[in-house]
Amino acid sequence: MGVLSTKTQCNLNNAEKYFKEHLQLGDYYSQENIVSGEWAGIGATQLGLTGRVRQDQFLKLCHNQNPQSGVLLTQRLKTTRWDTDKMAEVANRRIFYDFTFSPPKSVSIQALIADDKRLLESHSRAVRIAINELQHFAGTRVHQAGKISERLTGNVVCATFRHDTSRALDPHLHTHCVMFNATFDASEQRWKALSNYEMLQARKFAENVYYHEFARDLRQFGYEIENKPRGDFEIKGVSRELQSRFSKRHNEIDASIEKVLKEKPELAKGNLKELRSQIAQAERSRKIAGIALPELQRLWDSQLTGKERQSLRALARQSKAALQSPSVTAQAAIQWAEAHLFDRRSVVRENEVWSAALERGRGAELTTEDIKAAGQEREYIRNEHAPSKITTREILSCEWEIVCLARDGRGKFTELNPRHKIATGLMPDQRAAAELILGSRFASRLK
């Protein structure tokens, strides 16, 4: 399953180690194959960072220094704080955020085992476009008159590193997008700490931008895609059995989660995504030294049957002629997104509409700008204090009608059931809800 995951790095020593032992080397050691990172983001360009990522540049940013001059970049100097729970000094300054883009497993198999190199460049292209969209939501905190608010800055300093394996040495195409804790505030004309709150809210949108751009390329290459209910997609022709076989790390974590939930079933009510992340970090295996890509490819090939090997290669050979794209217009995609989202909520974030529209039109000859333009035509109603949130005139009218109905009908009718009796065994909040409904005297009661 493809996903956009996020990890925050707060420890300076760990940040330096992460660069030298992970970002530059991937998930297996091979000094002959150092991963060359690439700079991305408007903020990187403002700092004069283009092309390949140099170690000295990366480490200076970790130390909150301008990579060109070495002077302090943002004003915040405090790097530790006292944790009253742990009764110790702990890291306080966020050094960077690692946003990691991964395609569906079938794409990794076709790119790395079937050796379709077109998919590698397509992945990198889709990541660059998604980063550009995600950085629009970059912001910083504003302290004014004793109040704290947030202001969008729309720029990040990002270093990208493309890797091709998992810790279990399975094919796993993914790109780490390291966004440093710095953004340029044009209003104050200075570099400040990056607030990633709105970026995290827009994470699903960025993921769907990535998926959409990748799917467009896959169709141009002649691959058929199949959208999944969970929101991602797979390449048709790559079997589920193969996807599972080359998802050992994923399967190991699933087994660990199942074991933990059997021992502590109460955890099932909590954040399972966070539990998965904790288990993944705790059970992370050590890297294996000295493995080069040709050896990995022989390892992967040894896990295929002759029929599977032939099928994957045939799929790559046949995927030469472009397939016809789905005939979905931006306007139709936006209208579908509205119906899908506003059916459950009266107010949503605008990027949620864009995200759902891109998912609806995945692989069609649409761009994110087309989707945004179609949304502009809808003339949404906004709250000046939360401009990213929208509703429609139809929904506003409907809700006002409900409010008026409730207001005008208050106390005009007898109770819904004057002789009601509440069953025993209900929780206090359930009992209160039943009392409210059965004792209702509003005009909207059932007749």
Q: Which residues contact 6 (CB under 8 A, 6 or more apart)?
A: 97, 98, 99, 100, 200, 203
Name the residue with tokens 């998912």.
359
Residue 28 is a catalytic residue: yes
Distance of CA 364 to the CA centre of its chain: 21
Burial class (CB in 10 A: 0-12, 13-18, 19+), 347: middle
Cα separation of 45 and 57, whole Å? Answer: 13
Determine contact, residues 146/139, Cβ cutoff 8 Å: no
| 3-state SS class at 365 | coil
- Write down the H helix ranges in 264-384: 272-282, 293-302, 306-318, 330-342, 350-360, 368-376
Give strand ranges (E) for 60-146.
Answer: 80-83, 88-91, 96-102, 139-144
- What's the half-sphere exposure (Cβ side, CA atoms, 13 Å) at 312? 23
Provide the token pair at 202.
């827009």
Tally helices (H) and strands (E) across the chain. Answer: 17, 16
Residue 29 is a catalytic residue: yes
Torsion angles phi and psi, residue 195, rounded to 5: -100, 120
Beta bridge partners of 382: 390
* Cα 317 to Cα 88, 206, 283, 305, 320, distances in angstroms: 60, 31, 39, 19, 7
Give the type of residue at 208.
Answer: N
Residues 28, 97, 211, 223: which is the catalytic one?
28
In this structure, the number of other CB atoms found within 10 A of the CB of residue 338 comes to 21
Cα separation of 288 and 284, whole Å? Answer: 12
**DSSP designation for 361:** T
Cα separation of 366 and 350, whole Å? Answer: 18
Cα separation of 67 and 50, whole Å? Answer: 12
Determine contact, residues 139/150, Cβ cutoff 8 Å: yes
Active site residues per annotation = 28-29
